[in-house]
Amino acid sequence: MTELQKHMIQDLQLRGFSERTQEMYVRAVRQPAEHYHKSPDLITEEELRQYFLYIKNVKHSSLQC
């Protein structure tokens, strides 16, 4: 687990999120990082925007087939 993940989980714990919610938030941050093959803290706002469009248009349409 990276320092960024540890810090994020600690922040979520302090806010009272359930363990399942914490896992889902960490996963949501990890997915675009894996897509771009770089650390989440290096992903730009534009890359996130493009990733969300990709999920909406490409991934979503392939699930409907």
Domain boundaries, the chain: 3-63
Looking up tokens 């949501």 gives 28
pLDDT digits 0-9 by tens, 6-39: 999 999 999 999 999 999 999 999 999 999 999 9
Question: Greater confidence, 9 or 62?
Answer: 9
The total of other beta-carbon atoms located within 10 Å of residue 59's CB is 9
Angle 19-36/3-14 helices, nearest 10 degrees? 150
**Cβ proximity of 64 and 45 under 8 Å:** no
Q: Is residue 58's pLDDT more than 70?
A: yes
- pTM value is 0.74
Question: Rounded to an integer, what distance in angstroms lies between the CA atom of residue 15 and that of residue 60?
Answer: 31
